[in-house]
Amino acid sequence: MSSDAVKKRKPKVIRNETGTPETKRGRAEGDQDVRVYNEEVELEARDPQQDYMLYKDTCAALAKLMAEIQELKAGGAKVGSVEIEERRTQCSVHFITLKKLNRLAHMRLKKGRDQTHEAKQRVDVLHLQLQNLLYEVMHLQKEIGKCLEFRSQHEEIELVSEEEFFQEAPAEISRPHVTRDDQHQLTLARLDWELEQRKRLAEQYKMSLARKEKIQKAIEQKREYLSSLQPGLQNIMQASLPVQEYLAIPFEHMQKQAEVSRHLPPPLYVLLVQAGAYGQACDKNLSVSISGDVDEAKALSRPPEDSQDDESDSDAEEEQQNTKRRRATVGVQLDDKRKEMLRRHPLSLCVDLKCKDGSVLHLFFYYLMNLNILTVKTKVSTTTDLSGAVSAGSLLNSESLLNCLYASDHGKETPNPANRYQFDKVGITTFADYVSDLGHPYVWVQKLGGLQFSSDFVALTMQWVCSVPEHSIIPVSSECQHLFPAKVVSGLMRWTMMSYQEFTELGFVQHVLKAGLVRETDLFFMAVVERGTARLLAAVVMNPRYPEVAPLFSFSLHWKEERSGRTDDNLRAMESEVNVFRSELQGPRPGLQLLTNQIQRLCVCLDVYLETESQVCDGSEGPKEFPREKMCLRTARGPSRLKPFKYNHPQGFFSHR
């Protein structure tokens, strides 16, 4: 090759896509005529949108050339013709362009991925830094919380007030010029002053203990001296008994009685104190004494022992075996229960009243422990024989001597209302059968012992209330029989108690709630009265002050359709009969039969309602479900067609109000 050809040759272009700058620089230094082509540098200067448009144009041109080649071949042109070769050359150029665009697209993708990866790494680094900062913040917050929640031991010490501290503490401890402006220094100074005070109090405590020991030693010495005097004093007391009797100063008797009185039950002790005080202050002829088994009384007040010896265990086992072999009959068990219930306290009081003629009235007071009542028995000691005087002997009969000391106080029945239910458990009909043995439980005797019993209206009322659902009958007393007809067909099927929440959920009682007639402290019951297919629900509100406050009834009738006092005038009239005209149903005082009479009136009104109602509504013939058994002057009256619910006695018919 000639030198001219070498000079005319174009400089060589080296494509370098992945070469390093050092390699490029080395090549450039070794061959000054070589130009380095770097597509990465070209990529930065190219617009992706223009490359995309170039790609579309190239594809379109390529498709056009292919179509022209196809047409030429179809027109009979040979494969090696000039037209086909030119178009093939142009297609090759377009393919090269497409390959370049493809490389550029891959380079852009790689560059985008690298940039995305770098951005993610930066985000990860920032996120890690954020997590570290949040952890540090959380740690600092915990430390701050611990510091704020820290409770020093000095906070549990009750320090003197600041004013008292500055007044009493010396200047070297209080340092007012520093502590008045610095709360921390003030607390330290107050603690120092508290320490000084406690040291001083500790010294005083030691001195007090020393004085206490000295006083205790002196007391022990005096106690020994006094105990040595006891035998001598007892000898002196024994020697002075004749003098006490002569001067009527029973000092020893009073001392023994005071010792025994500690074992009396509270009612007898109250009676002892009151009678003794009255005898000393007002009546010298009255004397009080205590009699009975003191040891047995001490055993009653002694707490039961937890441990038992082997002998007692064996006795108990033997007794249990004997019980298993032969069981006591029901009668024997009831007798034992009655004896236990009527058991008297081992100690009793005897009050002697001396009369001017020398006669003495002995009053023996007993306390029945299980019944919690006092009884009294009398005995008259006369100076003359009264067996021949019939009138005097009958007047001084111990069984009737104190009867009706107060009006209607016969002393035959116990005044404690709780005893009635205790008697029912053991089969005691009346307390009068045991008065001759136990004494008379007069009301004034209970008051002397400090026992007060009121009439148990609540218990009696609840007994009546509970008897209704228990027997499904309505007990009507003989005094109230005239308020109702002889035959009442409707009956009480159920009587249940419900809560205030259940009561408020009933739809037919909302008017009562809105009127404010119900409180949460009241008692709530649901009564179900039925006759045939008719079913009447009655919501009953009972005030704890019953019978002073009458029960309140609200009705809902389920028969053919549901009706209530808000939708049916006759049901409203039935509510009036039970609630408004309750004075007719009060009965004898104190009116404990009001509830049962209201329920009975409800059953009577339901009979009238059903018997006077049209039975065949669809025009069909047949027997009526509720035959008319009540005599009514008029079955209905007025535009509201009210029914006759008022019962007239003794005629026995029903009329309107």
Q: What is the pLDDT of residues 533-550, one digit of tens each?
A: 899 999 999 887 777 888
168, 169, 172, 176 alpha-carbon torsion, rounded to 10° = -80
Residues 220 and 353 placed together within one structural domain of the fold: no
Domain boundary among 249, 282, 310: 249
Q: Which helix (H) or strand (E) holds 377?
A: strand 373-381
Instruction: Assess whether 468 and 573 both reside in one domain.
Output: yes
- Give the tokens for residue 34: 């070589």
Please return the burial class of 201, using the count of CB atoms within 10 Å of its CB with bins 0-12, 13-18 and 19+: exposed
Residue 609 has pLDDT above 50, yes or no: yes
Kindly state whether residues 498 and 416 are assigned to the same domain: no
Range of lowest pLDDT (302-311, 539-548, 625-634): 302-311
573 and 644 together in one domain: yes
Distance CA 447, CA 454 (A): 12
Give the integer Cα–Cα distance in Å for 287 and 4: 170
Statement to judge: residues 557 and 599 lie in one domain: yes
Instruction: Give the Cα-Cα-Cα angle 36, 37, 39 (nearest 5 degrees).
Output: 145
Which pLDDT score is estimated for 330? 62
Q: How many domains is the chain built from?
A: 4
pLDDT-based confidence at residue 128 (cuts at 50, 70, 90): very high
Q: Is residue 393 one of the residues assigned to a domain?
A: no
- In angstroms, the CA 656 to CA 635 distance is 9
- Residue 322 maps to a domain: no
Q: Residue 392: its pLDDT value, please?
A: 44
Q: State the pLDDT confidence band at 96, using cuts at 50, 70 and 90.
A: very high
pLDDT of residue 219: 94
Please give the residue that has the higher pLDDT: either 360 or 253.
360
The mean of the pLDDT values for the chain is 80
Is 316 a member of any domain? no
Residue 143 pLDDT: 94
Residues 639, 587: one domain?
A: yes
> Per the structure block, which two tokens stand in for 52?
């995309």
Q: Within this chain, do residues 97 and 227 fall inside the same structural domain, yes or no?
A: no
- The residue segments making up the domain with residue 416 are 262-300+336-383+398-455
**How large is the average pLDDT for residues 277-298?**
84
- Burial status of residue 504 (CB atoms within 10 A of its CB: 0-12, 13-18, 19 or more): middle
Span 312-334, average pLDDT: 57
pLDDT-derived band at 619 (thresholds 50, 70, 90) equals very low
In this structure, the answer to whether residues 245 and 285 fall within a common structural domain is no
Compute the distance between CA of residue 369 and CA of residue 361 in angstroms, rounded to an integer: 26
Confidence bin at 162 (pLDDT 50/70/90): confident
Q: Does the pLDDT value for residue 307 go beyond 50?
A: no
Angle (CA) 573 579 585, round 5°: 110
Domain presence at residue 63 = yes
The verdict on residue 157 lying in a domain is no
Highest-confidence segment of 63-72, 253-262, 448-457, 616-625: 63-72
Query: Lowest mean pLDDT: which of 1-5, 536-540, 561-565?
Result: 1-5
| Model pLDDT, residue 252 | 62
Query: What is the per-residue pLDDT for 615?
Result: 46
The residue-averaged pLDDT of 98-113 equals 91
Same domain, 500 and 610: yes
Confidence of residue 10 (pLDDT cuts 50, 70, 90): very low
Specify the pLDDT at position 249.
Answer: 61
Q: What is the mean pLDDT of residues 519-540?
A: 89
Predicted pLDDT at 320: 55
**Cβ neighbours of residue 154 closer than 8 Å, sequence gap 6 or more:** 187, 191
Nearest-angstrom CA–CA distance, 538 and 547 = 19
**Highest-confidence segment of 25-29, 203-207, 231-235, 303-307:** 203-207
Q: Is 383 exposed, middle or buried (0-12, 13-18, 19+ CB in 10 A)?
A: exposed
- The answer to whether 38 touches 16, Cβ cutoff 8 Å, is yes
Q: Which of 427, 455, 483 represents a domain boundary (last residue)?
A: 455
Q: Quick one: pLDDT band at residue 42, thresholds 50, 70, 90?
A: confident
Confidence of residue 419 (pLDDT cuts 50, 70, 90): confident
- pLDDT at 2 (0 to 100): 40
**121 vs 654, more confident:** 121
Give pLDDT tens digits for 381-401.
Answer: 877 665 544 334 445 666 767
pLDDT of amino acid 334: 81
Give the percent of the chain with pLDDT over 90: 20
d(CA 642, CA 573): 8
Backbone angles phi, psi at 455, to 5 degrees: -65, 130
pLDDT bin (cut points 50, 70, 90) of residue 124 is very high
What pLDDT sits at residue 181? 87
Cα 599 from Cα 526, distance rounded (Å): 12
Residue 459's pLDDT band, with cuts at 50, 70 and 90, is very low
Mean pLDDT throughout 487-494? 87
Long-range contacts of 455-463 (CB under 8 A, 24+ apart): 455/417, 455/590, 456/417, 456/418, 457/546, 457/547, 457/590, 457/592, 458/544, 458/546, 459/417, 459/418, 459/421, 460/417, 460/592, 461/546, 461/547, 461/592, 461/595
Least confident range of 95-99, 194-198, 449-453, 490-494: 449-453
pLDDT at 51 over 70: yes
Q: Which of the two residues, 618 and 599, has the higher pLDDT score?
A: 599
pLDDT of 32 reads: 54
Assess whether pLDDT exceeds 70 at residue 304: no
Query: CA angle, corner 129, sides to 124 and 134, nearest 5?
Result: 125
Of 101-105, 487-491, 501-505, 585-589, the one with minimum mean pLDDT is 585-589
Rounded to whole angstroms, what are the CA distances from 593 to 114, 547, 551, 599, 604? 100, 9, 11, 10, 17
**pLDDT at residue 413, rounded to an integer:** 86
Residue appearing with tokens 């050809």? 5
3-state DSSP: the chain helix, strand, coil percent, rounded to 5? 55, 15, 30
* Same domain (yes/no): 236, 271: no
Lowest mean pLDDT among 64-73, 323-332, 443-452: 323-332
Per-residue model confidence (pLDDT) at position 336: 84
Taking 70 as the threshold, does the pLDDT of residue 44 lie above it?
Answer: yes
Alpha helices in 75-182 (DSSP H): 82-149, 162-168, 171-174, 176-179
| Residue 387: predicted pLDDT | 53
Radius of gyration of the chain (CA): 58
Query: Is 353 inside a domain boundary?
Result: yes
Q: Does residue 104 lie within any of the structural domains? A: yes
231 and 271 part of one domain: no
Same domain, 584 and 506: yes
Q: Indicate the pLDDT class of residue 457, thresholds 50, 70 and 90.
A: very low
Classify residue 590 by its DSSP letter.
Answer: T
Q: Under a CB-based contact definition with an 8 Å cutoff, are residues 358 and 384 in contact?
A: no
The pLDDT value recorded for residue 527 is 92
* Range in 222-231, 295-304, 478-487 with the lowest mean pLDDT: 295-304
Asked if residue 388 belongs to a domain, the reply is: no
Residue with tokens 């001083």: 200
Q: What is the pLDDT of residue 253?
A: 63
